[in-house]
Amino acid sequence: EAGVTQFPSHSVIEKGQTVTLRCDPISGHDNLYWYRRVMGKEIKFLLHFVKESKQDESGMPNNRFLAERTGGTYSTLKVQPAELEDSGVYFCASSSRQGNGYTFGSGTRLTVV
Amino acid sequence: GQQLNQSPQSMFIQEGEDVSMNCTSSSIFNTWLWYKQDPGEGPVLLIALYKAGELTSNGRLTAQFGITRKDSFLNISASIPSDVGIYFCAGLNYGGSQGNLIFGKGTKLSVKP
């Protein structure tokens, strides 16, 4: 089966611009997660979708971040406007049910300059 | 919030040596997971532990879920150059609105041939 796919793999944008990250989970996986790793720190949870519904968005840093999962398939994470501290690697993961080990994508490395 | 203390932060070892790393937490988890991340890739699940006291092996890897449910260790025996990478522990409590992974900061492993 195809794994979790993330696009783009790298993005360099200027402070104040908008960036949209995309994640295609493994087909049939209802659970989709977004995580972020800022350099030198741990990978931190951002939010969790079950199908198209936001199950838990307690990790979203602020209202500059907007995640959607229309139709319960792929998900997008938009950062608007981007700030320098948003730089990091954004990972998406999916699982068939909670409690399983998740499958991660390769991540999107975001650099805000 | 919940935090995991992972140690050591980095290790430089000779090929053939054994490696040990561990994670501790002030709170309990239902599941402990160990992931490995190669450069430019997302974390890949190595071992999942679901019961307190459980000892599980995957080839040269062995991991244990502590009896108190607050700690876990990962051992790698007879290391080889391809073991190089960053190893992350992660704790998981699922059920209800929960389901997100709490990660340690990672152990960076370097292996000298």
Q: In terms of pLDDT, which residue wins out, A2 or A109?
A: A109
Nearest Cα neighbor of B29 from B6, B4, B56 is B4
Q: Pick A55's closest partner by Cβ from B4, B31, B97.
A: B97
- Contact criterion met (CB < 8 Å) for A48 and B31: no
Q: Which of chain A's residues have a Cβ under 8 Å away from the Cβ of B94?
A: 98-99
Q: How many angstroms separate the CA atoms of A75 and A3, rounded?
A: 15
Average pLDDT along chain A: 93
CA distance A31 to chain B (A): 9
State residue B83 phi and psi, 5-degree precision: -75, -10
User: Looking at residue A88, what is its pLDDT?
Assistant: 97
User: Looking at residue B19, what is its pLDDT?
Assistant: 96
The H or E element containing residue A79 is: strand A75-79
Residue A6 scores a pLDDT above 60:
yes
- Contact criterion met (CB < 8 Å) for B44 and A99: no
Q: Which of chain B's residues have a Cβ under 8 Å away from the Cβ of A103?
A: 45
User: Looking at residue A1, what is its pLDDT?
Assistant: 63
Q: Which of chain B's residues have a Cβ under 8 Å away from the Cβ of A24?
A: none
DSSP at A61: -
Q: Which of B5, B25, B101 to mutate to test the interface with A (most CBs of A within 10 A)?
A: B101
Q: Does A75 touch chain B (CB under 8 A)?
A: no
Residue B96 scores a pLDDT above 50:
no
Q: Pick A106's closest partner by Cβ from B41, B101, B102.
A: B41
Quick one: pLDDT band at residue B97, thresholds 50, 70, 90?
A: very low
- Please write the tens of the pLDDT for every residue from B23-82: 999 989 989 999 999 988 999 999 999 999 999 999 999 999 999 999 999 999 999 999
- Contact criterion met (CB < 8 Å) for B100 and A42: no
User: Looking at residue B3, what is its pLDDT?
Assistant: 83
- Please write the tens of the pLDDT for every residue from A12-57: 999 999 999 999 999 989 999 999 999 888 899 999 999 999 999 9
Least confident among A107-111, B10-14, B19-23, B38-42: B38-42
- Contact criterion met (CB < 8 Å) for B100 and A45: yes
**Residue matched to tokens 């992931």:** B35
* Tokens of residue A39, six digits: 């350099």
Residue A101 scores a pLDDT above 80:
no
User: Looking at residue B1, what is its pLDDT?
Assistant: 67
Nearby residues of A98 by Cβ (< 8 Å), 6 or more positions away:
A31, B94, B95, B98, B99
Note which residues in 12-31 of chain A have CB less than 8 A from chain B.
Answer: 31
